[in-house]
Amino acid sequence: MGEPVLVLDGVWKAFDRGAERLRVLADVSLSVAAGEIVAVVGTRDQGKTTLIRVASGMLPADRGSVRIGDLELTGLSDSQLAKVLRTRIGLASRGGPVMRMRVRDYVGLRLATGRWWRRRERRRRVAEVLRELDIEGCANQRWRELSDWQRVLVEFAQAIAGRPRLLLIDDVVDGLGLGKKQAAVELLRHFADDIGCAVLMVVSDHASALPCSDRIWQLSGGKLKLMADLNDPVLLPLHKRTDDSREWLTGS
């Protein structure tokens, strides 16, 4: 692997809950390089979404360092952070669009706000991404009209539309069957290999982290524990990769 795209170094995050201070992340450190998929597994309320928000810069760390390439996110202004989110980071979550917009508009939203894509190029890129994920038929639909699986694919589409350096995936597969979870991770492997982006995903179970993660961490009590590492014979994941993401996608 090359130089890390994302580096979290000694990150702490806590929230006030009444008279108490709730620690969510405690001295968390990890890195993700281009073309690499790192999965963080944690049950509900273990801080997975907090980790993703801190990694994106949307939520400042109390202590520690968060870097995208050579750029330190701590201390950036709102406008500077917004530019980083537009140009370097793709974020997929289960929430979907806030507004009642059509899929094609949602997928192209990041490109429109970035202002460096001309309208024709934006339309072409949106059509390209929808075709790549085999959801052209959803272009004119709205979020409420989509199946759970289509929503995952639409989230992926809007996240990769701007060809980001870093993909952050916030538990989008929760609630899907095992086959679809594996299909989603196979697609992330495709993005990492094809776009060359780094992928950090948080998931609720180990099955969702397989079969394509390079490293798997467990998040519990605010701390990370390395569970599997493709490059470490002792911590080698108990799975084998397949390069045919379409096989998982179609369920064949």
Listed range (4-8, 110-114, 151-155) with the worst mean pLDDT: 110-114
Give per-residue pLDDT as tens, 34-60: 999 999 999 888 899 999 999 999 999
Average predicted confidence (pLDDT) for the chain: 86
Region 4-88+165-250: CATH code: 3.40.50.300
The length of the chain in residues reads 252
Listed range (89-93, 124-128, 227-231, 238-242) with the worst mean pLDDT: 238-242
Give per-residue pLDDT as tens, 160-182: 998 999 999 999 988 888 889 88
Q: How far is CA 131 from the centre of its chain?
A: 20
Domain locations in the chain as residue ranges: 4-88+165-250, 95-163
pLDDT value of residue 241: 43
Q: Where are the beta strands (DSSP E) in the chain?
A: 4-17, 20-33, 37-41, 63-68, 71-72, 89-92, 166-170, 198-203, 215-220, 223-229
Q: Would the pLDDT of 249 be above 80?
A: no
* C-alpha span between 114 and 125 (Å, rounded): 14
Nearest one of 159, 145, 154, 205 to 181, comparing CA atoms: 205
Q: Would the pLDDT of 83 be above 80?
A: yes
What is the band of 82 on the pLDDT scale with cuts at 50, 70, 90?
confident
DSSP secondary structure letter of residue 251? T
